[in-house]
Amino acid sequence: MRSISQISGSQDELYRKLGENIKSTTRVAEPGIVQSFDPVEQTVTVQLSIREQLNNEDGTKQWVNLPLLLDVPIAIPRGGGYMLTMPVTKGDECLVIFGDMCMDAWFSNGGIQNQIEKRRHDLSDGYAILGIWSQPNRIPNYSTTTAQLRNLSGTQYIELGKDEINIVGNVKINGEAI
């Protein structure tokens, strides 16, 4: 049932509709699925994994996939000249966060830059944070007592425990003993 303010088109109703419009068009973060990875540019193409519901002109509603996000920079642990890299593959899940402003100049040139275009929370200003997952992709045999760098199946890992370091799997050492 519609309220009196909705029927009368009051200023309160105008503000309510404006607020709803702003909320429905502001992008903050969404889970996505990697479609491809460019190891040279270190970007991914991502399909967002939550569909958008659109209202058709005839009043019907329709669920649609949002367009593929192209050239999305990836976020990995990195700092002080060190980083943790992993193979990124099609089907990997990620979280895409959308920047407050146009990031094109910064992404191309680094440093502090002016916006090339004035836009906010746009689909083209996403960053893919790798490593989140949905319940069907849970990590089997998740260790609750050690830190592990491991493969998904848990057949190979480096494990840091309270008093020891375990290396499980085939070990190959290249280099010189110093």
- Note the pLDDT tens digit of each residue in 120-131: 989 999 999 999
Same domain (yes/no): 81, 103: yes
pLDDT at 7: 60
pLDDT, tens digit (0-9, with 9 covering 90-100), for 148-162: 999 999 999 999 999
For 28-42, what is each residue's pLDDT tens digit? 999 999 999 999 999
Question: Cα 126–38–96 angle (5° rounding)?
Answer: 20
The number of folded domains in the chain is 2
pLDDT averaged over the chain? 91
Residues 167 and 112 in one domain: no
Q: Residue 6 above 70 pLDDT? A: no
Domain that holds residue 171: 139-178
Q: What's the pTM?
A: 0.81
Q: Does residue 83 contact residue 77 with C-beta atoms inside 8 Å?
A: yes
Both 129 and 145 in one domain: the answer is no
Question: Do residue 76 and residue 154 come from a single domain?
Answer: no
Same domain flag for 74 and 15: yes
Q: Are residues 157 and 170 in the same domain?
A: yes
pLDDT average, residue stretch 73-90: 94
Instruction: Please give the share of the chain, as a percent, with pLDDT higher than 70.
Output: 94
